[in-house]
Amino acid sequence: MTQQAVERFATLAGKLGLTRRDQHTFYGIYRDYPVAVSMFGEGETRGLLFQFRHTQEQASLPKDDGYEWERDLEELVTSGRAAVSVEDRIAWLTLYDMQSVGQQVGVVPLLDGYLDSLSSAGITGAGKLCHYCLTNTVDSPTFDEGRVGLICRACLLDRTATRAGELEGSAAGLSASVLLAGVGAAVGGVLWAGAWIAHDWIIEVVSRGKDVIGVPTTVEIVWLVVVGVLVGGPVGYVIGRVPGHGVRWAGSVGIVGGIAAVGIGEVLFSTWLIYRVRGEASVKAGLEVLPMYWRAAPVIYLIVKSCAALLSIYFAYRLARPKRTSLAL
């Protein structure tokens, strides 16, 4: 971002009475509208994206032809140098070249004309009233997840309480998560063993009569991802379905479940190896033979299996963690 562009942007924000959010964004209240403006683009050509919050819901908004934009803005939109959009409780104005618009019309007069047009269409800000309860007064706007909004303490606490509840979870949710993680690990373990039995069988068939076989890197990567999803997926999925499982503990339970799935799978796999040689299935023998199997296996084979194990644990972790509720400003 060039210094001249930064200075022009800061000067504009100062004229509007806005507060700096970061290098690219300012926000505040202008003419009773909560407003945020972000600068985008490369080099000397910088654009501005304005968002103005209003109180009208989508059903009460005029149709697209119900707005009469002032002439300068209409010309900019027609020429493709600006864009306007009015949506549910938010209006957008995009200026694709801040410098040329500033020289030709002036950004602040253009904004005033845009807001005049919104007001004429019945789309207004709420002054200092909370946009959600329309009852409590608010001294300054909130900026969260790319949106500016005027939200009172009571409404904000209501939304953050939901976030806190998701973060902590509940004792019942944690207990159910651990229990179901065990079930998911058992399923994942069976799929791990089946996947590597199939893998070794395919390698054995393909390598008959050959000293060395080459496996394309892309094929190996796809195989690792597939194994990771098959093994870690059941663990993360069942944990993610538990109400109140909590962000804080879900990932940890998912990691432990993923490790358990791989461990169970390796024991089942070594049990199958013993069955293949001796004709008898013994999980105890499979567990005892497993360290010897690891020591005898080729290093590259163990590396591939280790990568698959890490991917399985990763997918279990990612799928177990719930998505946080947005403040929905």
Q: Give 70-96 pLDDT, tens digit per residue.
A: 999 999 999 999 999 999 889 999 999
- Is residue 158 one of the residues assigned to a domain? no
Q: Are residues 185 and 309 in the same domain?
A: yes
Give tens-digit pLDDT for 205-236: 777 666 555 566 677 788 889 999 999 999 99
Q: Are residues 146 and 249 in the same domain?
A: no
Which of 117, 151, 185 is the C-terminal boundary of a domain?
151
Q: What is the pLDDT of residue 48?
A: 93
- Is residue 157 one of the residues assigned to a domain? no
- Is residue 142 one of the residues assigned to a domain? yes
Its domain, for residue 37, covers 3-151
- Is residue 252 one of the residues assigned to a domain? yes
Using an 8 Å Cβ cutoff, are 231 and 262 in contact? yes
- Is residue 327 one of the residues assigned to a domain? no
Q: Are residues 209 and 302 in the same domain?
A: yes
Q: Are residues 132 and 171 in the same domain?
A: no
For residue 88, with 0-12 CB atoms within 10 Å meaning exposed, 13-18 middle and 19 or more buried, which class applies? exposed
pLDDT band at residue 167 using 50, 70 and 90 as cut-offs: low
Which of 120, 151, 182 is the C-terminal boundary of a domain?
151
Q: Give the residue from 127, 159, 152, 149 showing the smallest Cα distance to 30.
A: 127
CA–CA distance, 278 with 271 (Å, rounded to integer): 10
- Is residue 16 one of the residues assigned to a domain? yes
Q: Are residues 16 and 123 in the same domain?
A: yes
- Is residue 328 one of the residues assigned to a domain? no
Q: Are residues 72 and 200 in the same domain?
A: no
Continuous H helices in the chain: 3-16, 71-78, 98-104, 107-120, 153-168, 171-206, 217-240, 247-278, 283-296, 299-320
Q: Are residues 131 and 25 in the same domain?
A: yes
- Is residue 156 one of the residues assigned to a domain? no
Q: Are residues 181 and 53 in the same domain?
A: no
Q: Are residues 238 and 293 in the same domain?
A: yes
Q: Are residues 227 and 308 in the same domain?
A: yes
Q: How far is CA 17 from the centre of its chain?
A: 32
Which of 121, 151, 181 is the C-terminal boundary of a domain?
151
Q: Are residues 77 and 32 in the same domain?
A: yes
pLDDT, the chain, mean: 84
Give tens-digit pLDDT for 231-263: 999 999 988 888 766 666 788 889 999 999 999
Residue 296 has pLDDT above 70, yes or no: yes
pLDDT band at residue 161 using 50, 70 and 90 as cut-offs: low
Q: Are residues 314 and 174 in the same domain?
A: yes
Residue 190 has pLDDT above 60, yes or no: yes
User: In this structure, what DSSP letter does residue 150 have?
Assistant: -
Q: What is the 3-state secondary structure (H, E, C) of 225-255?
A: HHHHHHHHHHHHHHHHCCCCCCHHHHHHHHH
The whole model's pTM is what?
0.55
Q: What is the pLDDT of residue 18?
A: 93
CATH at 11: 3.30.1460
Percent of the chain with pLDDT over 70: 87
Q: How many domains does the chain have?
A: 2
For residue 118, with 0-12 CB atoms within 10 Å meaning exposed, 13-18 middle and 19 or more buried, which class applies? buried
Mean pLDDT across the stretch 293-297? 87
